[in-house]
Structure 1
Amino acid sequence: MTAATSSLVGWDDAAAVAGRLAPPGPAVSRSEAEHLVASLHSAARRAVEPVLEITAMTPADGRDLETSPLSEILVVDRPGWARAAARSMRDMTEDAFVLPPGAGAALGAQVAASTEIGATLAFLSTKILGQFDPYSAREPGRLLLVAPNVLHVERELGVRPDDFRLWVALHEQTHALQFAAAPWLASHLRDRTTALLGAMSTTSTLREVPPRVAALLRAVYRAVRGREGATLVDGILTCEQQVELDAVTAVMSLLEGHADVAMDTVGPRVVPTVRAIRRKFEKRRDTSGAADTVLKRLLGVDAKIAQYRDGASFVRSVTREVGTAGLNAVWTDTSTLPTALEIADPASWVRRVHG
């Protein structure tokens, strides 16, 4: 970005706000924290082999996973995740919000948009267990595990820590493998997201853009990170933009559902208490306090449950019909990705792709 151009969003400011507002996690001793970090690193490494076996997928570059990692593993706290998420949003959207030379956004509006995004990420930092970031500047992408959230949830559920940590890592390493097996996927999502967000600068006045950008960013970020829901963007999307958002959301339903199926399919041989973990986790997903429920609904966090479940239903239905090899056709190229209608009707995807 040159001196003659400016952005609608101050990403450094958003990252700083997110990091400052993210609350600390459960209190632990130094030795407990060190053990937790080491355990999560170990779980992420151990998750790779069963994920490869269950999915029957391999990295497209043919890398030897004995010597080259499937992902860079980072164990972070809540502020660390919040700052990383802001940077990921910046990298994912690239130059979608760069204004033409001489057309600067009002400083107050930019600050307001950056603060709103940062505050949203700070709230989400208490909910995220892990995340694979394919937009990291370093190859092969970063797998972030949020240590305080993993600890909080495993205590709340009363599950075996080693089993739960491996279960979470299985989900995230499945995401790492998805992007490694389909190296075109990250750029495809970035291109569609950038096109969608960039349209905001042509459908709004400069005065309207920053708050609309903040709202739309929340919706798109939920979609590409598995948190779909348009509660706060009702009425601001054009029909064309809604179609584009639906398309991105369909892809993410596939990714999240595929990862959810993989983490359960490993079975008791890999995670002895996997069935008990899933049962307790689903119950937790479906229940929360009144205040928390309102915030989740406003931010669209609760809608991720339907997205995960719809995607998992698609994966299971397609696998029953054409097997794992048939399902893996989704990673061929952009033309074999499911549409929103096909996520709801898996048989239609099978007919289109397999005849």
Structure 2
Amino acid sequence: MPVTGAARPGGREIVDWDDAALIAGRLASPGPVAPREELESLVASLRDAAGRAVEPVLEITRMSAADGRSLTASTLSGVLVVDRPGWAAASARSMRAMTEGALPVPPRGVPLAAELVASAEVGATLALLSTKILGQFDPFGPPDANLLLVAPNVLQTEREMRVRPADFRLWVCMHEQTHALQLAAAPWLAEHLRARTQTLLRDLTASAADPRQVPARVAGTARAVYSAVRGTETGARPAPSLVDSVLTPSQRQAFDEVGAVMALLEGHADVAMDAVGTSVVPTVRSIRRKFSARRSEGGTGTLDRVLRRLLGMDAKMAQYRDGAAFVRAVTEAVGTDGVNAVWSGPETLPSAREIADPVSWVRRVHG
């Protein structure tokens, strides 16, 4: 007879985020090798780029903090340059904050082995993602370290793309500082996303007919939700991901609504980073062309392509495209200030249908 969660002291959740972070840190590859002097210069350059990115982002987006405070490099975000294990640990903490209380071991219990597998699966996913992420603004992170820049991934990407390092680092930081500005303009947004995510996960846990299904279903959904909240195809849909196999139609709809918000956030940040002039990022057009090609290609190996589909990363790429198309269409219709109406409150966020049909959002919000 398997040992179940009910036989052990209560208070636990299905995924042990400390274990997941530890596993991710051990599995994550270290990344490219470089002399110590080059790595120190990289760290300093990324911190400097994060600071310099704030002014052009403010100018392009014409956004401001909801509380009226003056936004500068020091007040918008706290920059932390990390390696891959450091990113994985920070992301596990963020996932814990985002899902806290939503993944309790049910009273009837689950096999202990299944709990361990769930934590290991999430940890392995974080290890994989730690090799892909360039930067991330974490609304659940500490104020002095809520903008993460993953140094080895930036170095590896700029080497592979053969772009000018100073330009590429500033361009990446503009994307992440746009996310920081989004949360400053809409401080309610982080809690809105957390509440939606927690509701979805609670519903998923409660709907499992067999207690043994809970960890696997939650692990799959936690990975998919995380991929969506960190960043579907309109028309032809990407190949099924893990999330498609574990969600009911109503849960799928809720997940798509979260995805619509993230499409907005990612697309808005992509538009901002591309709107910067050549006086700020001289090689911006070349960087975008090469970066878009890299995104569309994904990995060249069969295993990498399979993993991207299983984890929903192909849908994530579609999210950038759809969100950017939405922002550009709305900007053309009602201008930059009209776009900024999305930060007014939850009721002005676009639905999944409106992301695909920007005119319907403009009609609903602007009349």
- Give the shorter-chain TM-score range: over 0.9
Structure 2 CA distance, aligned partners of 1:313 and 1:325? 17
| Residue matched to 2:265 | 255
Structure 1 CA distance, aligned partners of 2:364 and 2:222? 32
For residue 32 of structure 1, the aligned residue among 34, 38, 45 is 38
Structure 2 CA distance, aligned partners of 1:275 and 1:67? 25
| Residue matched to 1:129 | 134
| Residue matched to 1:21 | 27
Structure 2 CA distance, aligned partners of 1:171 and 1:246? 23
Amino acid at match of 1:107: L
| Residue matched to 1:322 | 334
Structure 2 CA distance, aligned partners of 1:78 and 1:169? 17
In the TM superposition, residue 201 of structure 1 has moved relative to its aligned partner by 2.0
Structure 2 CA distance, aligned partners of 1:243 and 1:300? 16
Amino acid at match of 2:219: A
Do the aligned partners of residues 67 and 18 (structure 1) sit closer, same or farther apart at CA in structure 2, a change above 3 Å counting?
A: closer
Structure 2 CA distance, aligned partners of 1:16 and 1:98? 21
Amino acid at match of 1:44: A
| Residue matched to 1:119 | 124
TM-score scaled by length of structure 1: 0.96
The gaps in structure 1 that reach 5 residues or longer are none
Contact 2:22 2:89 in 1 (8 A): yes
Structure 1 CA distance, aligned partners of 2:354 and 2:55? 30
Contact 1:7 1:105 in 2 (8 A): no
Structure 2 CA distance, aligned partners of 1:40 and 1:317? 32
For residue 195 of structure 1, the aligned residue among 186, 199, 214 is 199
Cα deviation, 1:147-174, whole Å, max 9, x if unaligned, reads: 0000001011110000000000000000
Contact 1:89 1:221 in 2 (8 A): yes
Contact 1:132 1:141 in 2 (8 A): no
* Percent pairwise identity: 64
User: Residue 274 in 1 paired to residue 284 in 2?
Assistant: yes
Structure 1 CA distance, aligned partners of 2:258 and 2:224? 11
* Superposed counterparts of 1:181-192, under 5 Å: 181-192=185-196
| Residue matched to 1:144 | 148
Q: Where do 4+ consecutive residues of structure 1 move more than 6 Å?
A: none
In the TM superposition, residue 5 of structure 1 has moved relative to its aligned partner by 2.6
| Residue matched to 1:289 | 300
Structure 2 CA distance, aligned partners of 1:311 and 1:241? 22
Structure 2 CA distance, aligned partners of 1:158 and 1:115? 36
| Residue matched to 1:10 | 16
Structure 2 CA distance, aligned partners of 1:45 and 1:94? 32
Amino acid at match of 2:60: I
Structure 2 CA distance, aligned partners of 1:294 and 1:235? 16
Once the two structures are overlaid, the 10-residue window that deviates more, 222-231 or 334-343, is: 222-231
Amino acid at match of 1:309: R
Contact 2:51 2:73 in 1 (8 A): no
| Residue matched to 2:366 | 354
Do the aligned partners of residues 105 and 227 (structure 1) sit closer, same or farther apart at CA in structure 2, a change above 3 Å counting?
A: farther
The SS at the match of 2:245 is coil
Structure 2 CA distance, aligned partners of 1:306 and 1:166? 24
In the TM superposition, residue 63 of structure 1 has moved relative to its aligned partner by 2.3
RMSD: 1.7
Cα deviation, 1:102-155, whole Å, max 9, x if unaligned, reads: 54432111100000000011011111000000011x237601000000000101
Structure 2 CA distance, aligned partners of 1:125 and 1:67? 25
Structure 1 CA distance, aligned partners of 2:319 and 2:103? 27
In the TM superposition, residue 245 of structure 1 has moved relative to its aligned partner by 0.1
The gaps in structure 2 that reach 5 residues or longer are 1-7
| Residue matched to 1:61 | 67
For residue 76 of structure 1, the aligned residue among 79, 82, 87 is 82
TM-score scaled by length of structure 2: 0.93
In the TM superposition, residue 49 of structure 1 has moved relative to its aligned partner by 0.5
Aligned residue-pair number: 352
Contact 1:226 1:253 in 2 (8 A): yes
